[in-house]
A and B are shown apart, each in its own frame.
Chain A
Amino acid sequence: MAELTPLGAFFEKLREKGSTLLIVMYAILAVLVALNFIWTPHHPHFGLDKYTGFWAGFGLLFGLAMVIVMKKIVQPFIARDEEFYDSGD
């Protein structure tokens, strides 16, 4: 197999540093929430978005709800074999 390019080798190293990346992600998210204490919308459109952390909670909750509801509740009802439509051949 051919050698990796320098960029490819760099990304391969990154793949092995999952826990470090996780700490970085938490740190960035914490900084963003801290900034949200300083900056809030001048003209909140939705009412609740005037409160600090609204958009953080919105992203987290709807993200979790979307994945869990679709994968755990909806998909079992609508999932079929990949060859479902061609099975009559």
Chain B
Amino acid sequence: MIQATSFIHPSLGFLTLALALPFFKGDSKYWRWLLLLPPLLAIYAVFSMEPGVYGTLNWMGETLVLGRVDKLSIIFAQVFSIVSLIGFTYALHVDDKFQHASAALYVAGGLGCVFSGDYLTLFVFWELMSIGSTFLIWLARNQASTRAGFRYFLYHTVGGLFLLAGLLFQYNATGSFAFEYINPANAQFYHWLILTGFCVNAAVVPLHAWLPDAYPRGTVTGSVFMSAFTTKTAVYVLCRGFAGWEVLAVAGTVMAVYGVLYACMENNARRILSYHIVSQVGYMVAGIGIGTAMTLNGACAHAYAHILYKGLLFMGVGCLLYSAGTQKLDELGGRVGRLPWVMVLYMIAALSISGWPLFNGFISKTMTITGAAEAHRTWLALGMEIAAVGTFISVGIKLPYFAFWGGKPTSKRKLKPIPWNMYTAMSIGGALCIAQGVYPQMLYAYLPFEVEHMYVPWTTWHVLQSLLLLGFSGLAFYYCRKVITPHKQLNLDFDYFYRLIGKLVMWLVCRPLAWFDDRWTEVYRVGGLRGLMALARGSSWFDRKGIDTVVDGSAYTVMNVGKLGAKVQTGRLQDYLGLAAILALCVFALVWYFA
């Protein structure tokens, strides 16, 4: 099946871990070290693989490609593998095996998408990500997370259906599931369906509101994984399939600005970071939409850097939530004395996302902006500069100011000590953010698109421009620090409209459909029931005389199977999803084995 020894699918270890974890017994100190094996295997696999096509399967006459390896897939798989090691290190102290299994499924899905060579394989891994991440929200095990998980899953199911419809229509039109670059000049309606499905996961405004709704409600460790995979997998598929689509250039810039505008009003620390995912992914989407080699490289570089610093941001705020029991800025405040290293490590990420020299955002964000300007997309580049101002104000100053420096905590709760593994994971993330900032070649060496002259971030002017822009943004914060003080409030976003659609469906079900159901029940009772009774009497006679003697044995078998079926039908969607995922994996394993 596998055509060369140089390719080990990095998802394999994670899938094995997810399947094996529920069978481990006893205290987590015995099995938790196994969590680090799949990420280490994935890192080894990615660094040792050579470009080519591997792992082809024949399924119902179709050739599915599990391992399309090229520079684009390698750079995304590389950072996915590294952040999975950081994420599992951060989560080592967690005893809940199901959280780890969900994270492993999720990571396997993300890596699977990156190496998919056709839409059908992509769709399977795409949905696996959706299931894994939904559990990472549910497993926070509170009412808010349960509701948010259902909304998240519903929304991603709709997004997945757009993708499914698009790929089926493409197959109908072309006879192929091939996932290749689509020239915007030759775009068909099914390409737009696929693009919509991708845009849901990329959190393109106005399809973005699932993200700030769900990510703040995930588990402390689960949100670290989620900050890395869903949107960046979408960036990868957009980069592969939709480079140069003008609509993405505009939509990306809107995202970049929209995210920072909402973040400056927010009180919930993880929601601030969530809006900044929308904003930062906006830079990548805009770079893809502009479509020059430099902006495409900028999108990939920024995705890499973003995964590292955003994971670190979520880890830092996760420490606050873990230790202080709250993520609301109005309840935090003045924590720097008690959590100094959390503040230091958080600030490495905050300065990275802001694009300060010496940190990795400086070498990635500026590449996209300069690329946009050099492509004469002046307004788009200006929009991204405005977003950079807002990013530093919200994530670089507002969040740490109100969490660590200013004021006093309103909660009297004693801080919970932070486990060593959380500090270790954050230190790895912080070290990589600085290393890439100081030595850009560490990242640039893996950029997939050929350029005549590689972008040079470390020039006197670039450094001075960044310092001027960000320094004076800081001054703006100082002047309006009393205005920006966060309060306990919810800011309406586009999810208000999503909920209206939900209410409309509920109304349709409760009113017109319920009326029709009532009438139909009446017709059935009057007309249908008598006929059915007569039929039942005839069947009963036939059953006693003919069937009973023949199939009693079968009936017992059916009864026993029925009992088993009734047991697994718990009525809980979580259980059905878990069961479906296990069945899908078993079928997948059988197909893989016998193909």
Assembly CA distance A9 to B479 (angstroms):
28
Contact indicator A11/B340 (Cβ below 8 Å) = yes
Whole-angstrom CA separation of A57 from B389 in the bound complex: 11
Total number of A-B contacts with CB less than 8 angstroms? 155
Q: Which of A12, A59, A84 contacts B471 (CB 8 A)?
A: A59
**B182 contacts the other chain (Cβ, under 8 Å)?**
no
Contact with B along A59-89 (1 / 0, CB 8 A): 1111110111011101100111110111000
Complex interface: chain B residues within 8 A of A59 (CB): 389, 468-473, 475-476
Main secondary structure of the interface of A (DSSP, over half): helix
Contact yes or no, A55 B469, CB < 8 A: yes
| Chain B contacts for A62, CB-based, 8 A | 386, 389-390, 473, 476
Flag if A75 contacts B483 (CB, 8 Å). no
Q: Are A36 and B389 touching (Cβ within 8 A)? A: no
- A32 and B467 CA atoms in complex are apart in Å by 7
Contact of A70 among B261, B382, B385, B490 (CB under 8 A): B261
Which one, A35, A36, A71, A81, contacts B483 given CB within 8 A?
Answer: A71
- CB-CB under 8 A from A4, the residues of chain B are 337-338
Q: Write the B315-348 contact mask toward A (1 if CB under 8 angstroms, else 0).
A: 0000000000000000000101111110110000
Q: In whole Å, how far is B401's beta carbon from the nearest beta carbon of chain A? A: 11
Beta-carbon contact of A33 and B478 below 8 Å: no
CB distance from A34 to the nearest CB of B (A): 11
- A12 contacts which chain B residues (CB < 8 A)? 336-337
Enumerate chain B residues within 8 angstroms of A63, measured Cβ to Cβ.
389-390, 393, 472-473, 475-477, 480
Asked if B424 lies at the interface with its beta carbon under 8 angstroms from chain A, I say no
Q: Does B540 contact A (CB under 8 A)?
A: no
| Interface segment, one of B373-381, B507-515, B520-528, B551-559 | B373-381
A58 touches B385 (CB 8 A): yes
Evaluate contact between B472 and A57: CB separation under 8 angstroms. Answer: yes
Among residues of A, the one whose C-beta sits closest to the C-beta of B328 is A82
Chain A residues with CB under 8 Å of B405's CB are 15
| B465 and A41 within 8 A (CB) | yes
Interface residues of A in 14-70 (CB under 8 A from B): 15, 22, 25, 28-29, 32-33, 35-36, 39-42, 45-46, 55-64, 66-68, 70
B264 touches A11 (CB 8 A): no
- In the assembled complex, the Cα of A4 lies from the Cα of B385 at a distance in Å of 40
B489 touches A15 (CB 8 A): no
A44 to B341, CA, bound (A): 40
Size band of the interface chain A makes with B: 35 or more
Q: Which A residues are CB-close (under 8 A) to B390?
A: 62-63, 66
Contact-size category for B: 35 or more
Report yes or no: A81 in contact with B490, Cβ–Cβ below 8 A.
yes
Tell me, yes or no, whether B265 is within 8 Å of chain A by CB.
yes
A25 to chain B, nearest CB (A): 7
Q: How far is the CA of A75 from the CA of B479 in the complex (A)?
A: 19
B488 at the A interface (CB under 8 A): yes
Q: Are A8 and B471 in contact (CB under 8 A)?
A: no
Contacts A4-B337, A4-B338 known; A56 to B471 CB distance under 8 Å?
yes
Contacts known (A66-B261, A80-B489, A84-B490); A45 close to B472, Cβ less than 8 A? no
B167 on interface, CB distance cutoff 8 Å? no
Nearest Cβ on chain A to B150's Cβ, whole angstroms: 13
Closest to B143 in A: A86
Give Cα distance in the complex from A2 to B24, angstroms.
38
Q: Which of A5, A66, A74, A82 sits near B340, CB closer than 8 Å?
A: A5
Give Cα A39 to B491, complex, Å: 42
CA distance A8 to B335 in the complex (A): 9
Closest 10 CB pairs of A and B: A63-B476, A59-B472, A45-B373, A12-B337, A59-B473, A55-B468, A7-B340, A60-B472, A8-B340, A11-B336
30 CB < 8 A contacts A-B: A4-B337, A9-B337, A12-B336, A25-B474, A29-B471, A33-B468, A36-B464, A39-B464, A45-B370, A46-B381, A55-B469, A57-B472, A58-B385, A58-B469, A58-B472, A62-B386, A62-B390, A63-B390, A64-B479, A66-B389, A67-B480, A70-B265, A71-B265, A71-B480, A80-B489, A80-B491, A81-B489, A82-B490, A85-B490, A85-B499
